Amino acid sequence: MRPLNLLPRMTVWQRYSRFMLLGIAVATAAALGAIVIEAGSDHRAAGRMEQEIAQLEQRVRSLETEPQADPAVKRYEELKAKLSSLQSGRADWPQLVKLIEEPLPPGASLISVSASAGPQLRLQYTFAQESDIIAYLAAVQRIPRVDHARMTGMTKQVQSLPTNYAVGMEIYFRPNEGVE
């Protein structure tokens, strides 16, 4: 006789459900293991980054509290300041004397000139007329390079004919600007 199976047929789910559940469980366990391993490595990397950040912050604090200038830069700044002070005190005396001789009226003459730092000139003139003195002083004060000018003294010289006026003046010039 032949065996006869009267039981209903098993569905695909019933036949393979055990293997499917086992596969799903293994895949889930593998995914969870990978997540745990990755989280652990991220935690270690975060710890290293926190240490590095703390070291960099400490370095920044030390640099802020103790600024160390490069010696070459410091020397350059010193030389630049010295050059600037030399340039501001420098004066082209022949040009400055020429500037103040141009408005000199006829009959007037420059007797002596002495220079000092600043730049400043002390001058002695002789003028034929008193009105020439005031006109000359006003003309000198209008020169753009002149900061201010003042008369230091005036004497009338009656021993000589024609009568002359001996005048002392101080002229202060503006410092050189834009000298390179």
The CATH number that applies at residue 152 is: 3.30.1360.100
Torsion of CA 66, 72, 77, 81, to 10 degrees: 140
- The 10s digit of each residue's pLDDT in 58-69 is 988 887 776 667
Residue 163 falls within a domain, yes or no?
A: yes
pLDDT tens digit sequence for 78-97: 889 888 877 766 677 788 88
Q: What DSSP string runs through 134-179?
A: HHHHHHHHTSTTEEEEEEEEEEEE-SSSS-EEEEEEEEEEPPP-S-
Give the distance from CA 80 to its chain's centroid: 13
Supply the range of the domain harboring residue 142.
Answer: 89-173
User: What pLDDT, on a 0 to 100 scale, did the predictor assign at position 178?
Assistant: 41
Going by pLDDT thresholds of 50, 70 and 90, the confidence category of residue 73 is confident
User: Where is average pLDDT lowest: 3-12, 49-58, 61-70, 122-131?
Assistant: 61-70
Provide φ and ψ at 20, rounded to 5°: -65, -45
